[in-house]
Amino acid sequence: MPRFSANLGLLWPDRPLLQRIEAAARAGFRAIEMHWPYDVPASELAALARRYELTILGINTAPGDFPRGERGLGAVPGRESDFQATVDQAIAYCLACRASAIHVMAGNVAASDRARARAVFTENLRVAAARAARHGLLLLLEPLNPRDNPGYFYSTLAEAVALLEELALPNIKLQFDVYHVAISEGDVLTRLRRYIPMIGNVQIAAVPSRAEPDEGEIAYPAIFAAVDALGYRGWVGCEYRPRGDTDTGLKWMRALSQ
């Protein structure tokens, strides 16, 4: 079985972030990842993670004005300075809490702006990667499926890979979210094998419900076997929406390991 990390953006939604960290440790996780922890001082988060011997993996760049529909700024024309401010914020937070990766959120883009947006995102990534590299930080690119995220800049792995190949920078990799890949493209195992050299993080959830991975149309034992066989040495993030109580739902780990 892979090493699982708890994504605290979705698990234990009934409690504040610091309590989610405690819950993850008590549930047996040894690593955590988050979406936007910025309301919690990084020093407090780091101290609690050290107390429970948890590895902090990745965080996301701030989404911008989330209530008004912004989902990141990386590919949004005219928002370059705002985007770089979110990168600086994420880097500072990672350094303060010893996180190692940043998911760079591209944002929503009108269809008519896509060509310009790609040029903006490419240059923004080039600048962000240089800043992150000074501190040994990894940047992650994650296409989001269009059903849940209409208007998001990209939804396919091929789009992200084209950026990776053009930039050819060692500290930018794919975040391979099985849930998003399955909904956007399907053929998950083939894509996992094809892109494994470019993958910096893997995430999981049931398809189509985004609940615990013991239901739905994805055979996760096959995914886990492939991850191991392909030599992936990173973590697998549990980024799903629990059906009910998070701790009760974690029985899927025992069930899928038998």
| 142 carries an active-site annotation | yes
How far is 99 from 55, CA to CA, in rounded Å?
Answer: 8
Say which of 142, 165, 185, 215 is annotated catalytic.
142
Q: What torsion do the CA atoms of 179, 5, 33, 21 make, to the nearest 10 degrees?
A: 130
| 212 carries an active-site annotation | no
CA atoms within 13 A on the CB side of 213: 25
Q: Which of 229, 232, 242, 172 is nearest to 202 (CA)?
A: 232
Kindly provide the b/e burial profile for residues 229-252, where b requires at least 16 CB atoms within 10 angstroms of the residue's own CB: eeebebbbbbbbebeeebeebbeb
How far is 74 from 79, CA to CA, in rounded Å?
Answer: 8
Report the chain's terminal Cα–Cα distance, integer Å.
10
Q: Are 108 and 153 in contact (CB under 8 A)?
A: yes
**Residues designated catalytic:** 142, 239
